Amino acid sequence: MESGGENRKGLWTAEEDRMLLDYIRVHGKGKWNRIAKMSGLKRCGKSCRLRWINYLSPSVKRGDFSEEEEDLIIRLHKLLGNRWSLIAGRVPGRTDNQVKNHWNTHLSKKLGIKKAKIKAGANSLRSLAGEIRSNSEPPSDCNGEVASELIIEDGSHSVIADGSQSVLRFSSTEEETLVDQNYGCSFWFSHEDLNLYTPAYLMEPLDEYGLDFVWDGM
């Protein structure tokens, strides 16, 4: 905390926007802490940077997401997981925050994505993770993407592992692996004790590989 003047928080006013825009027009962006001080704004540098990137920058596109954009995001999310900045980088005019919010509020519902759950019996989380990784060979056309997250339980522990983490990523995430046209196949387990809860759009591919999965009715 600074003495004599705390940084403001909360929504930006039109006046604050104008002050930030005016400063950036003259001096350019970057060195956000300096901008925060020099522009006269009672905002921290981080807040100024975020406001510019997510709202004030002329490259930011507003309004509803088109079907094309949504389709692109779904495919990219399948490929990249929750790496929002990478996804946003390929959706012109959209920021990582926009993409993330849109995914969390619209697309995850649209796709019926929910938490996937793995029960691991007596295995420790670490050994389970190791086993999954070492015993699992993905089919050649499988890009290894999972639900938005997995919960692994071993009786004494419960941990949420993001699908983007390497231990749950079984094959290349190179773009050329995105060859399926229907958000198709998913991951590949050899572990027999696993009960797998997975999104609807992944059910068929999992069944195809003989996995014992249970569809959690919410």
Partner DNA sequence: AAGGGAAGCAACCGCAAGCCA
Partner DNA sequence: GTGGCTTGCGGTTGCTTCCCT
Contact footprint for DNA (CB under 7 A): 8-12, 30-34, 43, 45-47, 49-51, 54-55, 82-86, 96-98, 100-102, 104-106, 109, 162, 164
What does the DSSP 8-state code read for residue 8? P
CB of 51 to DNA, least distance (A): 5
**Residue among 5 and 10 whose Cβ is closer to DNA:** 10
**Residue among 31 and 204 whose Cβ is closer to DNA:** 31
**How far, in Å, are 17, 61, 91, 183, 194 from residue 23 at the CA level?**
10, 22, 28, 45, 57
Angle at 120 between CA 132 and CA 145, to 5 degrees: 45
Distance from chain centroid for Cα 8: 29
**Residue among 5 and 210 whose Cβ is closer to DNA:** 5
Answer whether 35's CB lies under 8 Å from 45's CB. yes
CB of 86 to DNA, least distance (A): 6
* Sign of CA pseudo-dihedral 72, 74, 79, 81: positive
CB of 200 to DNA, least distance (A): 18
What does the DSSP 8-state code read for residue 107? I
The 10 Å Cβ neighbour count of residue 146 is 23
CB of 140 to DNA, least distance (A): 27
**Residue among 98 and 143 whose Cβ is closer to DNA:** 98
Q: Which residue has the tokens 């990478």?
A: 86
Answer whether 39's CB lies under 8 Å from 26's CB. no
CB of 204 to DNA, least distance (A): 26
**Residue among 109 and 126 whose Cβ is closer to DNA:** 109
